[in-house]
Structure 1
């Protein structure tokens, strides 16, 4: 028995990267897909991404922190106290206006943690920690004790291999007891603080092959795509913060927590007022 699994996460609305990853996975003879969270925002392609996601029909899905932001914002529940909150809220409004209620409800229904048996191995799968899909406790340079929390979970069988996402870094490391921990990296927004590695902005994902003995293959894939096409789509689809998305396509850097920069965009385009009007209508 051999099972080939494409593990992917952090698409962040980047359809060009997502399509490239999918086409590469077909060439690799993948049997199934696992999605580890953060499907939409800040990219423009709501329905294109969602339709491809439904076509892929992953056998495993867990909910990321940006999936939660989409749900809260699309339901009119986001506050506008901070520039970054306005950023999340206005992008979620865009998702709601280009998607459907069923799409939002589907994201809300995804679990935080899943265990799945494949061959002789039991996998523990979450976007970040098993009960917390946000925060920086599992950044690659953090202590091993933080990562032990991924394998020390309640399940019918002990977790042999933990898979998480969230930090946009591909990773293979070990828990204190030498159980394996993997991260597929980010399809839409790979990141690395080291400039020489940050230049690689291809779509990152992971292929696992499991046979009767265990992990027969662990392959970190990098798939190129046309970032200019993706950048142009942000403008043609009237994406909020299109200029920032286009800048990200050039630099690979995110501006999610640059409050001063976000404040400038929020004031220029009146994004907070737009979201408050949208939220008032949703909550009536």
Structure 2
């Protein structure tokens, strides 16, 4: 049986980019969809993102580090003196004001890893490592030993996300490794490549003989429309989101800048009140 699988990851609240990718994938006659985590935040997308995934019958969804951060805040596992924690917590507050309860429950039940059997191939699916959805372990330029950690069992293919870089490489034993890139938050450290911030995804085709094709795709979307959507929905940290959309640059760990913004908009007070209520 032939399987044509769209691999999607790292939407980060960008509903406009996700819609464009789904529309493109439909032209490719994709038969199934797998999602590798980080659906929400820091963009404004909420229920609409989950509804889009439901519309294409996504049956494989693993927990990303941003889903993990979402749950940390709900569990009050934050430091209110840390500007990054305030940033993430204020975004979680925004999501809780917009997300249906059933989607919050869905996030709570996501696994770190899913193992799929497609024809005769065993496939590991995780956001980063199988037991760790955060950190820089699998950055594309890391050494081979790091990537071999994806194969704690004898999988034929390991698919991961998290780094926002499309990648195809092999383990030391010649097992296939795929990263589909990011739908909503592309970036490159090399300036000339960073001028191309189209939405990314990949298509994995498996037939009776084995792996027929791995294809990386980029899809244009209306960045201005996404920005207007964020403004109309009163997204916190809107200037940071504008910069992210236009340049790919993030400030998640820029403590000084975040502290300045938090003070300006009284986000610390918002978060304290929010945490007291949950």
Query: Normalising TM by the smaller chain, what interval?
Result: over 0.9
Q: Decide whether the 8 Å contact of 2:167 with 2:178 is kept in 1.
A: yes
Secondary structure of the residue aligned to 1:72 is helix
Bigger shift: residues 6-15 or 117-126: 117-126
**Residues in 2 aligned to 1:199 and 1:234: alpha-carbon distance in whole angstroms:** 22
CA-based RMSD: 1.1
| 1:1-284 equivalences in 2 (<5 Å) | 1-153=1-153, 158-282=154-278
Instruction: Show CA shifts across 1:9-63 (max 9, x none).
Output: 0000000000000000100000000000000000012122121122223121110
Contact 1:8 1:184 in 2 (8 A): yes
| Conserved? CA contact 1:9–1:39, under 8 Å | yes
Q: Is the 8 A contact 2:17 2:221 kept in 1?
A: yes
Distance 2:77 2:230 in 1: 25
| CA distance 1:79–1:100, shift in 2 (3 Å) | farther
Deviations 1:232-283, CA, capped at 9 Å, x for gaps: 111110001011101111111111111111111100011111011011011x
Structure 1 segments unaligned to the other structure (5+ residues): none
TM-score, scaled to structure 2? 0.97
Aligned residues: 278
Q: Deviating runs (4+, > 2 A) in structure 1?
A: 71-79
CA drift at 1:128 = 0.3
Question: How far off is 1:77 after superposition?
Answer: 4.0
Q: Spell out, residue by residue over 1:122-167, the C-alpha distance to the aligned partner (whole angstroms, 9 max, x if none).
A: 11110000000000010000011011110123xxxx2001000000
Q: Which runs of 5+ in 2 are unaligned?
A: none
Cα shift at 1:220? 0.2
- How far did 1:202 drift? 0.7
Q: 2:94–2:235: 8 Å Cα contact kept in structure 1?
A: yes
